[in-house]
Amino acid sequence: MIESPMTCYDVIFPLALGPLTYRCPEHLTGSIEPGMIVTAPLRKRITQGIILRRNDNPPDSPLKEFIEPSGTIISRPLLRLIPWMADYYIASEGMVLKQTLPPELFEKTAMHRQRKAAGHVTPDLPGLTDSLLLPLLEALQEKKFSPFLFHALSTAQEYSVARAVAEKTENVIILLPEISQADLIYQSLYEILPERVCLLHSGLSKGRRSATIDGIISGKHDIVIGTRHALFAPLKKVSCIMVLQEHSSFYKMEDGIRYHMRDVAVKRGFLEKAVVLLSSVTPSVDSYYNALTDKYGFIRPEGLHPRPKISVVDMRYCKKATPAISKTAANLAGSRLGIGKNVMLLVNRKGYATLLCRECEQTVLCPDCAIAMVMHKESKLLKCHYCGRGMEIPLQCSRCRSVALDPVGSGTERVQEDIGKVLKIPAIRFDKDVITKRSDLLKILRDITDSPPNLLIGTKLLTTHLTLLHRFSLAVIMNSDASTNFPDFRASEKAFAELASILGHIDPDGDLLIQTRAPGNQLVRYFRDDNYRGFVHEELEMRKALSFPPFTRMIEITISGRTDLAEKIVKGLQKTAHAIEVLGPVVSQSRHGRRQMSVFLKSADRKALNRAARSVMDSYGTDQETQVRVDVDPA
């Protein structure tokens, strides 16, 4: 211990801690700067952290010295991003560091085998006009923060723009929501820029990620493609950040600090004085609003693009091949499979069906969540798809003891069984019950491209793993109404994006069938007419009238453990937070089976929201019997 520190610095570690102050060894005075990775004693071990800033007013208590720096330096803009995220998302700098920067910065792993990049199939990408790229290239020349929203005609056009910009620019980050998509655009750029481009995501081995980080730090790689880790790549300078499919829910973190990658990407672009390009076929309503209000530059290609035929089937009156499949869908699927084409049927639920008592009309509910349990015929179990609870299929109703329990509705198992009987063709099921390891996933994805015809029955999981290489002649949305019936003001926006994503995998001469009991729904109407702009304007009018984002900001506070605190928190906020609307508490069940309560704070004043949420964390965040989680800008 040293009693009278001289030159001191605050150090952050990838742990749930704030900055800790250390003394600089005398022989290093004058050579230490913020951003350096150093080794320091912490509790009873030696660990690595990052110099955050110089501390000219250190505490009076004895301080430890940090040890020699490793030689790696994080750039000032990337370093400044950490305290900004800690403040905005109400977290410690240490948790931000743990959840963002690649861990290989601190712990290197040797790479044993290099995966060859050659021999992969890449998609044909559409050509681009000079006028489309001109605003981006001009902004890159100015070397200042310039955010743009690109409302693309297709995902392939997004890839074309990303490839063209990367070819003409140094120090580029390209973000995608899924690993398979990142792999695809990496292969496309590797063909022309093999030394400059690198891949960074959680699907890589630790050794390969370590080698990639070394290549970025040394300057060998200046085009970084990937998912979450790529946003925090330790480039010395960033000229352009591109967020493809910026609407995707995969950009919103679900565990730990619930930050939104799109928003953090914009902030890093601001700190780097870089161009930020957000692109999507269906941009988020928030980003579209920023473009309409000139906060972002807006790029929208003109002209028509080939589009599959979209048909709406009214399930109230149409002839049915099975309870969940219309005659139209079954006949069209049979004809497309007959000529060697791929077909997919999208179902909103895995399993077989729910169980309904015909005597008392009671659905079998989860004892923990009070949510309808789903029968899984293959495993002979009832499962709750929310908390994961399972039980044997009952022989009689728990309420009236009747044995008249019938399966109602259709999950993936039942649709697979029914369509197989109708078409006399085996169907492939694609859900979490059958995709248990990566090899299962890769085999199905290979079969789609290499061995048609295939009849796929899948949940939304299927579409998230598809790339531009996976093509279908027909897609059938089995129950489109389910997507818009969630208690979420963004439900229609998300449903539109899902429909557009499915449409993007259908051949131009193919068909998309939407089975619905509400054919007059505005979502269906706007989608069929290819009028996303009109849909967004109507959404904005509704949200403005109800004071929802983007016209206000929201924070969700979730309390589990001592849920009696929720009422206390609500009353306290109602008394002190006068500029804030407090909604709730809402009782729910966590995915771990614990009862929890959520409180929503809403205000146009972001700083007032932040103060209110921090007051809750300061008062109850350290309670041993309670877990308090804050979700800023819940999506």
With tokens 């079969």, the residue in question is 447
Per-10-residue mean pLDDT of the chain, 635 residues long, equals: 68 93 91 93 91 92 89 92 96 95 85 57 83 93 96 95 95 95 93 94 91 94 95 96 96 93 98 98 98 96 87 93 92 95 90 80 76 79 76 82 79 87 89 79 84 89 87 92 75 93 95 92 92 96 94 92 74 79 77 74 92 87 78 93
Ramachandran bin of 163, using left for φ above 0, alpha for ψ from -120 to 50, beta for the remaining angles: alpha
Residue 594: what pLDDT? 66
Contacts of 483 (CB under 8 A, 6+ apart): 348, 491, 494, 495, 498
With tokens 């880790």, the residue in question is 229
Q: Which residues pair with 423 in a beta bridge?
A: none
CA distance 410 to 228: 35
Residue 321: what pLDDT? 92
Predicted TM-score (pTM) of the model is 0.91
Residue 244 host element (H or E) = strand 240-244
Overall domain count for the chain: 4
Residue 219: what pLDDT? 93
Helix axes 76-88, 261-272, angle to 10 degrees: 140
CA distance 17 to 257: 13
| Whether residue 17 is found in the same domain as residue 140 | no
Q: Which residues pair with 555 in a beta bridge?
A: 601, 632
Please give the backbone phi and psi of residue 546, each rounded to the nearest 5 degrees, phi first: -100, 5
Exposed e or buried b per residue across 10-28, where buried means at least 16 C-beta atoms within 10 angstroms of its C-beta: bbbbbbebbbbbbbbbeeb
User: Is residue 175 domain-resident?
Assistant: yes
| Whether residue 516 is found in the same domain as residue 559 | no
Residue 593: what pLDDT? 55
| Whether residue 520 is found in the same domain as residue 571 | no
Q: Which amino acid is at 627?
A: Q
CA distance 452 to 319: 29
Cα dihedral 448, 224, 227, 109 sign: positive
Contact 485, 491 (CB under 8 A): yes
| Whether residue 345 is found in the same domain as residue 475 | yes
Contacts of 97 (CB under 8 A, 6+ apart): 12, 13, 14, 49, 50, 82
| Whether residue 289 is found in the same domain as residue 143 | yes
User: Is residue 401 domain-resident?
Assistant: no
| Whether residue 94 is found in the same domain as residue 204 | no
Of 88, 105, 122, the last residue of a domain is 105
Residue 189: what pLDDT? 94
Of 299, 326, 342, the last residue of a domain is 299
User: Is residue 110 domain-resident?
Assistant: no
Give the tokens for residue 93: 């700098």
| Whether residue 295 is found in the same domain as residue 324 | no
Going across the sheet that includes 353-357, the strands are 390-392, 381-383, 374-376, 353-357, 405-408
Of 345, 316, 139, the C-alpha closest to 242 is 139
Q: Which amino acid is at 28?
A: L
| Whether residue 531 is found in the same domain as residue 577 | no
Residue 431: what pLDDT? 82
Please give the backbone phi and psi of residue 97, each rounded to the nearest 5 degrees, phi first: -60, -45
User: Is residue 371 domain-resident?
Assistant: no
Residue 302: what pLDDT? 83
User: Is residue 248 domain-resident?
Assistant: yes
Give the tokens for residue 248: 């995707």
- Parallel, antiparallel, or unpaired for β 405-408 and 626-632? unpaired
With tokens 């709730």, the residue in question is 584
User: Is residue 502 domain-resident?
Assistant: yes
Helix/strand number for the chain, H first, E second: 18, 29
| Whether residue 189 is found in the same domain as residue 295 | yes
Contact 5, 58 (CB under 8 A): yes
Helix axes 327-338, 412-423, angle to 10 degrees: 70
Range of the domain at 206: 130-299
| Whether residue 250 is found in the same domain as residue 319 | no
Bond into 123 cis (ω within 30): no
User: Is residue 81 domain-resident?
Assistant: yes
Of 536, 563, 588, the last residue of a domain is 536
CATH classification at residue 287: 3.40.50.300
Contacts of 50 (CB under 8 A, 6+ apart): 11, 12, 35, 36, 37, 38, 74, 79, 97
| Whether residue 216 is found in the same domain as residue 336 | no
CA distance 332 to 513: 10
User: Is residue 542 domain-resident?
Assistant: no
| Whether residue 417 is found in the same domain as residue 527 | yes
CATH classification at residue 57: 3.40.1440.60
Distance from the Cα of residue 594 to its chain's centroid: 24
- Parallel, antiparallel, or unpaired for β 69-73 and 36-42? antiparallel
What torsion, rounded to 10 degrees, do the Cα atoms 477, 482, 484, 488 define? -140
Beta-carbon neighbour count of residue 74 at 10 Å?
24
Give the tokens for residue 361: 């009309």
